[in-house]
Amino acid sequence: MISVSRPSLGHEELAAVGEVFESGWLGMGSATLAFENALKDYLGCRHVVAVNSGSSALHIALAGIGTGPGDEVIVPSITFAACVQAIIATGATPVFCESREDDILIDIDDVERRITARTKAIMPVHYCGNPCDMDRLLALAEQHRLQIVEDAAHALGSTYKGRRIGSFGHATCFSFDPIKNITCGEGGAVALADDQVAETLRRKRSLGITKESWHRYRDVRNWHYEVTTHGYRYHMPNFCAAVGLVQLRKLDQFVVRRRAICMRYDAAFRDLSKLRILSVDYADTAPHIYVMRVFGNKRESFMQSLKDAGVDTAIHYTANHLQPFFRDYVVDQLPVATRLSNEVITLPLHCGMTDEDVASVIEAVGRFDGAA
């Protein structure tokens, strides 16, 4: 079975973890700091705060800008549930919005219609790694005095008008789980420019404590600390950061391979009748997943057809306004998101795929489209 996704790990990552084990310091420490600095240099941003997951990054970013009860955060319904759960975790209310049909990026016209006096932030999602229209989003935020908290879990390595996603804007959240463009095993990070918010996030990721454990115990055993804010145990441990450091050095070659696979798919699928590819500019996009749409209520039969051919598939995502736990937050039916939720399907995309694997996926998809 050709898997939808798989991490690309080697002996270098294993050796890096071994060095951490030998040091005896497994929690947050020097490797975490080194990973933050390396990611900051790669993105070209002022601050990076590393945490233990992409979900934690979203939550702590919202909390760091003061999101709380009585606030609203506008978020596309077509995204991972982590976005919505992070909003709810702050006590704020998620406000679901539509996505555009051609690329499944946030529909900014619909966002504008949903802004109220209670709106605190907008959470655009760089879906598949394809960057959103940040100029328009930031202008809208300035007009209404809002914050933009980007979900860039799919978009490490993507650019917008020559600048890396994460190098501008208010707060940009990344994920480093096993199947992202790079992995730490598990992990996440927030990239941002504001010095005060960055310091707030550093304290919040360590239970609100003024001195993180690495600083308390290194050199001189200064045990004194103070708890100055509400916080969480969200820090990134050294062994995860060690994996991330190695992976970050490989990111550019990962992106080249992922783009090549996606462009080969696009060329093969562009003229199919039952399926439609998304509109993606690969000059700016570091692809995380390859998503297409299946028409005519044929998605289940398409998935079964590919499974029979040895090709795994997935769905990214079931619209959140259709999820049972989020029903209390639904104010309208979002027809575009509902339709997309029933059409999207994800094909295999990872650097472990051979050219023969890619050809097998293309053949299986073409066979389905050509069937009577």
Q: How far apart are CA 215 and CA 185, in angstroms?
A: 24
5, 289 contact by CB (below 8 A): yes
- Count of CB atoms situated within 10 Å of the CB of 329: 18
Q: How far apart are CA 151 and CA 136, in angstroms?
A: 16
Q: How far apart are CA 64 and CA 97, in angstroms?
A: 23
Closest Cα partner for 137 from 173, 110, 164? 110
| Residue that is written with structure tokens 């050095």 in the block | 249
At 299, list the tokens: 């998605």
Q: How far apart are CA 294 and CA 297, in angstroms?
A: 7
Q: How far apart are CA 319 and CA 317, in angstroms?
A: 6
Closest Cα partner for 29 from 244, 213, 199? 213
337, 76 contact by CB (below 8 A): yes
Closest Cα partner for 282 from 253, 316, 255, 249? 255
| Residue that is written with structure tokens 């259709």 in the block | 322
360, 317 contact by CB (below 8 A): no
Work out the burial of residue 281: count CB atoms within 10 Å of its CB; fewer than 13 is exposed, 13-18 middle, 19 or more buried: exposed
The residue annotated as part of the active site, out of 40, 120, 180, 204, is: 180
Instruction: Cite the DSSP H helix spans in 272-311.
Output: 299-308
217, 26 contact by CB (below 8 A): no
At 90, list the tokens: 């702050």
Closest Cα partner for 234 from 196, 199, 188, 195? 188
Establish whether 204 is a catalytic residue: no
Beta bridge pairs of residue 237:
none
Which residues form the catalytic set? 180
